[in-house]
Amino acid sequence: MSKPLKFTNVQRSTFFATVRQRADAYFQENNLSRHANGAMWAKTAFFLGAFVLLYGLIMSNQFGVAAMAGLAAALGAVCAFIGFNVCHDAMHGSFSASKRVNKGLGLIFNLIGASPYVWNITHNVVHHTYTNIAGHDEDIEVAPGLIRLDEQEPVRWIQRFQHWYAFPVYGLASLSWVLRKDYVKFFQPKIGQQVANHPRREYFNLFFYKAIYYVLFIVLPLVVLDITWWQFIIGFVGMHFVEGLVLGLVFQLAHVVEGTAFPLPNEQGDMQEAWAVHQMRTTANFAPDSALASFLCGGLNRQIEHHLFPKVCHIHYPALSQILRTTAQEFDVPYIENQTFLGALQSHRRMLKRLGAEAYEQAQQPRERIAA
């Protein structure tokens, strides 16, 4: 692992202090809590209700195989939306002022197959601190050697096709999470720069909640449902493919699109800029004016606001975006946006092609000259 990294803010930027002061004033002047409001609780009830309904319909054993496959795919999407809308805010401590409420809602993350404890380290601590920094942000290491997401990774021949196969690979992310990733991350000596010195109870929690998930989504369906083992596998994999694709795309469209940076520290291990400015350079919004995107993605289509204000519930991001945009212009700080989901998707694909096919072609040129 590389040497410890720190942000030194050599320009003495006051951008973050200013934007934070303006955000504080907004909440005070409007007498608003930074946490969930009635609309947020209604959205939470909607997604959790959809989860219970879809799971119940599947387990009722009243539908044919094709309908069950459709219900499983829908359940996968709802699981991703619960992760975005409920668990994500709760695990950041932004859903409620009550730690007990946040912890309780965060535990729902286990029902979509992932460990909230491991997520807190890999995402809340590591990714939010060292965004898009190779060797530090493990969230950009999607499939090392297979998918190249930053210019520091070595170029391999297969990556010239990654703008075609990356999206199906994203669909495997949730399945990997359930069966492999949490265990691998938990038992690594370090996660990012965090030494893996886990409390003893977290060893129990990891296996206990995984066991509950396996019983609910593997054992019970095989026992209760009138399906064959291979039909179960199709449904289970299909559910996770949809879940993984939704999760993967929302992350990639927020950090790996044209305009976002992948900066590196200097030889002393310093990032010579303010942390908040670094976040603005490495993060992008997509479809910011889409009510549907905001509803489904838990505000993560406004990823800039999330990275600057992770302790604020996403229901407030539209108001914060106006403050951030104006302040960024004043301080000549980037504010990267793709106005539509499709535009962001196309931008990400172009990035994949540049980092894969075009990088491979450039890597071959010196060899061709030597051979000539």
What beta strand segments (E) does the chain contain?
Answer: 6-7, 190-191, 194-195, 270-271, 284-286, 336-338
* Confidence at residue 2, expressed as pLDDT on a 0 to 100 scale: 53
Distance separating alpha carbons of residues 73 and 236, to the nearest angstrom: 9
pLDDT at 36 over 50: yes
What is the arithmetic mean of pLDDT over 336-343? Answer: 97
Mean pLDDT of 310-318: 96
Q: How far apart are CA 257 and CA 252, in angstroms?
A: 7
Residue-wise pLDDT tens digits, 137-167: 877 778 888 999 888 888 999 999 999 999 9
- Kindly report, residue by residue over 241-297, the tens digit of the pLDDT: 999 999 999 999 999 999 999 998 888 888 889 999 999 999 999 999 999 999 999
| The pLDDT value given to residue 1 | 43
Residue 26's pLDDT is what? 97
Least confident of 7-21, 67-81, 158-172, 295-309: 7-21
Beta-bridged to residue 41, according to DSSP, are none
Give 70-128 as a 3 state SS string: HHHHHHHHHHHHHHHHHHHHHHHCCCCCCHHHHHHHHHHHHHHCCCHHHHHHHHHHHHH
Q: Does the pLDDT value for residue 311 go beyond 90?
A: yes
| Rounded Cα–Cα distance for residues 196 and 114 (Å) | 18
Opening angle at CA 254, ends 173 and 335, nearest 5:
170
Helix, strand, coil percentages for the chain (3-state, nearest 5): 65, 5, 30
How many CA atoms lie within 13 Å of 297's alpha carbon, on the beta-carbon side? 27
Indicate the pairing of strand 190-191 with strand 194-195. antiparallel
Residue 4 CA: distances (Å) to CA of 1, 62, 359: 9, 56, 29
Range with the poorest average pLDDT among 33-42, 105-114, 120-129, 193-202: 193-202
The DSSP output letter for 138 is G
What the block records as the tokens of 127 is: 């990714």
Q: Please, are residues 138 and 191 in contact by the beta-carbon 8 Å criterion?
A: yes
Share of the chain above pLDDT 70, in %: 96
- Alpha carbon distance 356, 139 (integer Å): 18
**pLDDT, position 238:** 97
Render pLDDT for 78-113 as a digit per residue (tens, 0 to 9): 999 999 999 999 999 999 999 999 999 999 999 999
Mean pLDDT computed over every residue of the chain: 92
Residue 124 is predicted with a pLDDT of 85
For 191-226, the pLDDT digits (tens) are: 766 667 889 999 999 999 999 999 999 999 999 999
